[in-house]
Amino acid sequence: MSRTFNVAVVGATGAVGNQMLEVLEERNFPVKEVRLLASSRSEGKFLEFRGEQLPVQVLGKDSFKGIDIALFSAGGSRSEEFCPIAAAAGAVCVDNSSAWRMDPEVPLVVPEVNPHDVALYRNKGIIANPNCSTIQMVVALKPLHDFATIRRIVVSTYQAVSGTGTHAIDELRIQCGELLNGRPAESKVYPHQIAFNCLPHIDVFLPNGYTKEEMKMVNETRKILGDEKIRVTATTVRVPVFYSHSEAVNIETERKLTAAKARELLTAAPGVLVVDDVANAVYPMAVEAAGQDLTFVGRIREDESIENGLNLWVVADNLRKGAATNAVQIAELLVEKYL
Ligand code: NAP
Ligand code: 3JM
One pLDDT digit (tens) per residue for the chain, 339 residues:
589 999 999 999 999 999 999 999 999 999 999 999 999 999 999 999 999 999 999 999 999 999 999 999 999 999 999 999 999 999 999 999 999 999 999 999 999 999 999 999 999 999 999 999 999 999 999 999 999 999 999 999 999 999 999 999 999 999 999 999 999 999 999 999 999 999 999 999 999 999 999 999 999 999 999 999 999 999 999 999 999 999 999 999 999 999 999 999 999 999 999 999 999 999 999 999 999 999 999 999 999 999 999 999 999 999 999 999 999 999 999 999 999
Q: Which of 28, 6, 94, 84 is nearest to 331 (CA)?
A: 94
289 and 213 in a common domain: yes
124 and 198 in a common domain: no
For a mutational test of ligand 1's pocket, the pick from 18, 36, 39, i.e. the residue with the most ligand atoms closer than 8 A to its C-beta, is: 39
Distances (CA, A) of 122 to 26, 88, 111: 28, 12, 17
333 and 199 in a common domain: no
Q: Which of 287, 290, 295, 286 is nearest to 326 (CA)?
A: 295
Nearest ligand (C-alpha, residue 47): 1
Catalytic residue numbers, as ranges: 132, 245
Inter-residue long-range contacts of 74-77, CB under 8 Å, 24+ positions, other chains counted? 74/10, 74/11, 74/14, 74/17, 74/37, 74/38, 74/39, 75/11
> Does the CB atom of residue 326 touch ligand 2 within 6 A?
no
User: Which helix (H) or strand (E) segment is 235 a member of?
Assistant: strand 231-238
- What is the whole-number distance in angstroms between the Cα of residue 146 and the centre of ligand 2? 29
> Does the CB atom of residue 98 touch ligand 2 within 6 A?
yes
328 and 311 in a common domain: no
328 and 289 in a common domain: no
Residue of the nearest CA to atom 5 in ligand 2? Answer: 75
Q: Say if pTM beats, i.e. exceeds, 0.95.
A: yes
73 and 153 in a common domain: no
Q: What is the pLDDT of residue 1?
A: 54
The number of beta carbons lying within 10 Å of the beta carbon of residue 165 is: 18
SS3 content of the chain, % helix, strand, coil (to 5): 35, 25, 35
Three-state SS at 225: helix
For residues 15 and 162, the answer to whether their CB atoms sit within 8 Å is yes
Q: What is the pLDDT of residue 298?
A: 98
Residue of the nearest CA to atom 19 in ligand 1? Answer: 39
Q: What is the pLDDT of residue 89?
A: 98
Distance CA 88, CA 111 (A): 25
- What is the whole-number distance in angstroms between the Cα of residue 39 and the centre of ligand 1? 10
Inter-helix orientation angle 325-333/15-26, to 10°: 50
Return the ligand 1 atom nearest residue 164 CA.
25
Q: Which of 332, 303, 337, 323 is nearest to 30 (CA)?
A: 332
300 and 241 in a common domain: yes
Residue of the nearest CA to atom 12 in ligand 2? Answer: 164
Return the ligand 2 atom nearest residue 97 CA.
11
For residues 235 and 218, the answer to whether their CB atoms sit within 8 Å is no
Between the CA atoms of 241, 244, 245 and 247, what dihedral angle is there, to the nearest 10 degrees?
-110
> Does the CB atom of residue 211 touch ligand 2 within 6 A?
no
Q: What is the pLDDT of residue 126?
A: 99
Domains of the chain: total: 2
Return the ligand 1 atom nearest residue 162 CA.
25
User: Which range of residues forms the domain containing residue 313?
Assistant: 133-318
92 and 125 in a common domain: yes
Question: Domain with 313 in it: what CATH number?
Answer: 3.30.360.10
Residues facing 159 on adjacent strands? 238
- The residues, ordered by sequence, that sit 6+ positions from 12 with a Cβ below 8 Å of its Cβ are 18, 20, 21, 36, 37, 38, 42, 47, 56
- What is the whole-number distance in angstroms between the Cα of residue 209 and the centre of ligand 1? 26
217 and 229 in a common domain: yes
Return the HEC string of 115-164: HHHHHHHHHHCEEECCCHHHHHHHHHHHHHHHHHCEEEEEEEEEECHHHH
282 and 149 in a common domain: yes
293 and 193 in a common domain: yes
- What is the whole-number distance in angstroms between the Cα of residue 303 and the centre of ligand 1? 39
Single-letter amino acid code for the residue at 8? A
Question: Domain with 24 in it: what CATH number?
Answer: 3.40.50.720
313 and 184 in a common domain: yes
Q: Which of 19, 11, 131 is nearest to 73 (CA)?
A: 11
